[in-house]
């Protein structure tokens, strides 16, 4: 995955960058499958296909790919500083105590979900029961966010805008 | 610990792509990579060694209930993936509009224009 994202960042051609990001996404889906999350893996797969379609729609028709002529040294220096800061803080957080080791989650809240999920919601899949029963308000908020973003995309992409009052059509 | 570190490396690469690249589509790809890194990190936090997927089957011993991986981050990440798709479509729509207006994806050219 890291190799794929390096290719995605550094290649010149936009189409191959998009396809390498899609490869990263499919590898992520396989990783979710190994980490015991089949629901997430399925969703990631579907979303990945849609991401590929959207990004290719954005790039393939506009084939102005050779953009980067010179490098901005300020941006490179800034990103290197960011790199160091993020790595340092990450080492500080994960080196300290109180953070769960890999393979031993806390599960203070979700123990209740796992044990009462079947009697309370009659749903065999605990993830589904968490989404649709225990935290249904979260899911409603997610639907709102999704609706708003799609609305924004449609408003940006529509062909004929609404005219103002009294405006004369130029063409 | 190494797994967390690899997640952070992925996140930082997305951040570098977001900050240093001039092409808008590359910036969008950086945001997508950061999205992947955060999702992977949350799933990894909820993983239990030797864990099984949290799906209850008809005649299952009760001890298997203790071997489930954490379902709560999985539910949150499911939400986050779908929201990421919506936000990505919004960003790509903005990119297409910018291209139609300015005829280029180069950020340094676009930001020089006035008016």
CB of A6 closer than 8 Å to CB of B14? no
The answer for residues whose C-beta is within 8 angstroms of residue A139's C-beta and 6 or more apart is A131, A132, B79
Cβ-Cβ contacts under 8 Å, B92 against chain A: 54-55, 57-58, 153
Residue pLDDT, tens place only, A59-80: 776 655 555 555 667 767 777 7
How close does chain B come to A165, measured CA to CA in Å? 23
Chain B contact present for A124, CB below 8 A: yes
Radius of gyration, alpha carbons of chain A: 23
CATH code, B2-47+63-110:
1.10.287.3510
pLDDT of residue A11: 64
The residue extents of the domains of chain B are: 2-47+63-110
CB of B92 closer than 8 Å to CB of A54? yes
Chain B contact present for A12, CB below 8 A: no
- End-to-end CA separation in angstroms for chain A: 51
Q: Name residues of chain B where pLDDT drops below 70.
A: 1, 62-63, 113-115
Q: Name residues of chain A where pLDDT drops below 50.
A: 170-171
Angle between helices B71-102 and A136-157 (to 10 degrees): 10
The residue extents of the domains of chain A are: 1-63, 107-158
Alpha-carbon distance of A135 to B39, in angstroms, equals: 19
Residue pLDDT, tens place only, B83-114: 888 888 888 888 888 877 777 777 777 777 65
Cβ-Cβ contacts under 8 Å, A106 against chain B: 70
pLDDT of residue A103: 60
pLDDT of residue A171: 43
The answer for residues whose C-beta is within 8 angstroms of residue A67's C-beta and 6 or more apart is B22, B23, B104, B105, B106
How close does chain A come to B102, measured CA to CA in Å? 12
Chain B contact present for A135, CB below 8 A: yes
pLDDT of residue B96: 82
Interface confidence (ipTM) of the complex: 0.80
């Amino acid at each position: 995955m890291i190799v794929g994202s390096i290719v995605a960042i550094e290649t010149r051609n936009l189409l191959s960058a998009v396809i390498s990001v899609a490869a990263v996404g499919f590898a992520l889906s396989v990783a979710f499958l190994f980490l015991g999350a089949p629901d997430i893996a399925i969703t990631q797969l579907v979303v990945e296909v849609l991401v590929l379609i959207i990004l290719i729609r954005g790039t393939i028709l506009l084939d102005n790919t050779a953009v980067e002529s010179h490098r901005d040294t300020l941006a490179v220096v800034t990103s290197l500083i960011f790199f160091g800061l993020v790595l340092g803080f990450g080492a500080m957080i994960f080196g300290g105590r109180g953070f769960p080791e890999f393979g031993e989650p806390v599960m203070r809240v979700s123990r209740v979900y796992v044990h009462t999920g079947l009697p309370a919601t009659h749903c065999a899949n605990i993830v589904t029961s968490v989404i649709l029963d225990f935290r249904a308000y979260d899911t409603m908020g997610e639907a709102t966010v999704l609706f708003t973003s799609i609305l924004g995309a449609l408003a940006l992409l529509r062909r004929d805008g609404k005219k103002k009052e009294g405006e004369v059509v130029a063409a | 610990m190494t797994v967390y570190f690899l997640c952070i490396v992925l996140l930082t690469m997305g951040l570098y792509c977001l900050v240093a690249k001039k092409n808008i589509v590359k910036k969008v790809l950086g945001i997508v990579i950061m999205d992947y890194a955060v999702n992977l990190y949350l799933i990894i936090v909820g993983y239990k060694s030797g864990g099984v997927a949290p799906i209850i089957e008809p005649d299952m011993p009760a001890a298997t209930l203790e071997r489930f991986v954490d379902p709560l981050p999985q539910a949150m990440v499911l939400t986050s993936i779908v929201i990421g798709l919506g936000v990505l479509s919004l960003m790509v729509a903005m990119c297409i509009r910018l291209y139609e207006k300015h005829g280029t994806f180069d950020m340094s050219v676009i930001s020089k224009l006035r008016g």
